Amino acid sequence: MAEYLIYHELGGPSRRFWSLLGLLAVPLALAAIAYFYMEHYGHIVTGMDNQIVWGMPHVFAVFLIIAATGALNIAMAASVFGKAVYRPVAPLSALVSLALLAGGLALVMLDLGRSDRMVVAAMQLNPESLLSRRVIFYDGYMASVGVYMWFLLEPRMNRYVKPVAIVAFLWQLLLITSTGLEFGFNFRAVYDSVLYAPMFIAFSSAYGAAALILILLAACGWEGRDVSGELLRRLKNWLGVSVGASLFFAILFLGTKYELVRSRDVARFLLFDGGVYTALLWLGQIALGGVVPLALLLRSRLSRSGIAAAAAMVLLGGLAQMYVTLIGGQAYPQILFPGMIESSSYFDGEIHPYAPSLVEVLLGLGGVALAASIVAIVLRAIALLPERLDPPAKPQA
C-alpha cells in the first residue's frame, strides 16, 4: 500500500499560512504576559489559595496530557494492530500526540511556584516519586513516539515500524495508567477509586480522537484535499465508542461512589449539591461531552460538520470533566475526623470556593495555542500528510 502513501507538506499560499500563525500568536503572547505577571507577583494574582492549590492551568494541562496519550491510539491501531485504514493518518496522529503533550507539560512548568527552577525539576529527580517517574514516562514516551514517526516516514525503516510501535504503545499505556492512578491513589475523598485508571484510558481515547479529527478536517479543508468517506466513518465510530466508554466509566464511578456508604457524601456533592461542579458534571461532562455527541455519532450518515461538531463538544465536555475532577476534588473538604463536624481557621470541613482569574485562563489557553502552533508549523515544514486521503479502503482493513 506504500504506493499511494506519498506524504506532503501543508501547501497553500504562504500569506494565508502566516496569517494563521499570526492568529495563533495572539493567545501565545497573552499567555506569555500572563506568565510573567504571575511570576512577578507570585500566585497571589491567581484565583488559587491554600485550599485549591491547582487551578485553571492544571485543568488545561492535565486535559492536554490525557488527550495527548489518546491521540496516539489511531497510529497504534494502524501500526500495532494492523488496521490499514488508519495508516495514512498515523504520522499525523503521532504528531498531534506530541504537540498536545508539549502544550500540557509547558503549562505544568509555567505554573510552578518557582518556575525559575524548572531545570531542577528536570535534573534532580527523586526516583521514589510518582511524579518524577512520570517525568521519565514522558521522556520515554516522547522518544519512542519520535522514533516511531521517523520510522514511519523513512521508507528504508518502514519494516521496523511494528516493533517500535509496540514500544510506543507500552509507554502510552504506562503513561495514561499512571496518570489515572495518581488520582486514584490520592487520599482526597473525591478521588480514592481504582476506576480512575480505566476511566482515564476511555477519556483519553475520546479526547485524543476528537482532537485528531478536528485537526485532520482542518488540515484537509485548508487545501481542499478530500478525506475518504471510509476513513472518516471509522474515525467517527472510534470517537463514538470512546465517548460511550467514557460515559460508562463515569457512570460506574459515580454510581459506586454513591452506593458505598463511606463515599456517599462525596457522590451527593458531585451529583446533586455541588453547585458549579454539579452543573458542569451534568451539563458539561455528561450532556455536552457525552450524551449529545454520542447521539450524533450514532447516526449512520453524519456530515463532516456534524462530525466536527461532535468532536468539539467532546473536547469542551472534557474540559468540564477536568474542572470537576481537579477543582471539585479539591473543593470538597478533606476529612480528618470521620463522623465529626470539623471547623477551623484553615477552613476544615467547608466546601472551598474557587474562581479562576483571567491570568490562569490566559495561561491555559496558551497551552492549547502552543499545541496548535506546533501542529501547524510541523505540518508545513515536514511532509506528514498523505497526498491523497481518499484511497479506496483496503478490503482486509
Partner 1 sequence: MSADANDGLSRRGFLAISAATLGGVMLAPGIRLIEIAGARAPEQSVSRQVRWGLLIDTNKCAPGCDDCVKACATENGLKDTGHPRTDAQWIRKVELKDMRTGRANSVPVMCQHCEHPPCVDVCPTGASFKRADGIVLVDRHICIGCRYCIMACPYKARSIVFEAITDQNPDVPRGNGCAEGCTLCVHRIDRDQQPACVEACTKAGHNAMFFGDLNDPHSEIAQRVAKYASTQIRADFKLNPGVRYQGL
Choose which of 1, 26, 118, 355 interacts with partner 1 (CB under 8 A): 118
> 231: closest CA among 208, 212, 206, 244?
212
Choose which of 337, 392, 395, 396 interacts with partner 1 (CB under 8 A): 337
CA distances from 166 to 81, 85, 139, 178, 307 (A): 9, 18, 16, 18, 30
Rounded Cα distance between 204 and 284, Å, is 17
If one asks whether residue 50 binds partner 1 (CB under 8 A), the answer comes out as yes
Residue whose CB is less far from partner 1, 42 or 392? 42
If one asks whether residue 33 binds partner 1 (CB under 8 A), the answer comes out as no
- Sort strands 7-8 and 385-386 into parallel, antiparallel or unpaired: antiparallel
CB of 17 to partner 1, least distance (A): 37
If one asks whether residue 135 binds partner 1 (CB under 8 A), the answer comes out as yes
Rounded Cα distance between 332 and 52, Å, is 10
If one asks whether residue 114 binds partner 1 (CB under 8 A), the answer comes out as yes
Q: Which stretch binds partner 1 (CB under 8 A): 15-23, 107-115, 214-222, 306-314?
A: 107-115
**385, 387, 390, 395: CA torsion to nearest 10:** -80
If one asks whether residue 351 binds partner 1 (CB under 8 A), the answer comes out as no
If one asks whether residue 346 binds partner 1 (CB under 8 A), the answer comes out as yes
CB of 221 to partner 1, least distance (A): 40
Choose which of 6, 23, 29, 53 interacts with partner 1 (CB under 8 A): 53
Residue whose CB is less far from partner 1, 37 or 248? 37
If one asks whether residue 261 binds partner 1 (CB under 8 A), the answer comes out as no
| Cβ-proximal residues to 303 (8 Å cutoff; 6+ apart), any chain | none
Question: Using H for helix, E for strand and C for coil, what is the string for 194-232?
Answer: CCHHHHHHHHHHHHHHHHHHHHHHHHHHHHCCCECHHHH
Rounded Cα distance between 167 and 154, Å, is 18
Choose which of 8, 37, 132, 282 interacts with partner 1 (CB under 8 A): 132
If one asks whether residue 12 binds partner 1 (CB under 8 A), the answer comes out as no
Choose which of 14, 300, 303, 344 interacts with partner 1 (CB under 8 A): 344
Choose which of 18, 36, 41, 160 interacts with partner 1 (CB under 8 A): 41
- Are 19 and 389 within 8 A, CB to CB? no
Residue whose CB is less far from partner 1, 248 or 347? 347
If one asks whether residue 336 binds partner 1 (CB under 8 A), the answer comes out as yes
If one asks whether residue 162 binds partner 1 (CB under 8 A), the answer comes out as no
Rounded Cα distance between 203 and 135, Å, is 21
If one asks whether residue 129 binds partner 1 (CB under 8 A), the answer comes out as yes
What are the start-end ranges of the H helices in 126-160?
Answer: 130-153
Choose which of 2, 16, 124, 226 interacts with partner 1 (CB under 8 A): 124
CB of 365 to partner 1, least distance (A): 21
If one asks whether residue 11 binds partner 1 (CB under 8 A), the answer comes out as no
Half-sphere exposure of 282 (CA within 13 A, CB side): 12
If one asks whether residue 125 binds partner 1 (CB under 8 A), the answer comes out as yes
Q: To which H or E segment does residue 8 belong?
A: strand 7-8
User: Phi and psi dihedrals of 386, rounded to 5?
Assistant: -65, 150
Rounded Cα distance between 50 and 193, Å, is 24
Residue whose CB is less far from partner 1, 19 or 343? 343
CB of 121 to partner 1, least distance (A): 5
Half-sphere exposure of 124 (CA within 13 A, CB side): 4
Q: Which stretch binds partner 1 (CB under 8 A): 41-49, 162-170, 213-221, 377-385?
A: 41-49
Residue whose CB is less far from partner 1, 278 or 334? 334
Residues at the contact surface with partner 1, assessed by CB under 8 A: 41-44, 48-51, 53-54, 108, 112-115, 117-118, 120-121, 124-126, 128-132, 135, 186-188, 330, 334-348
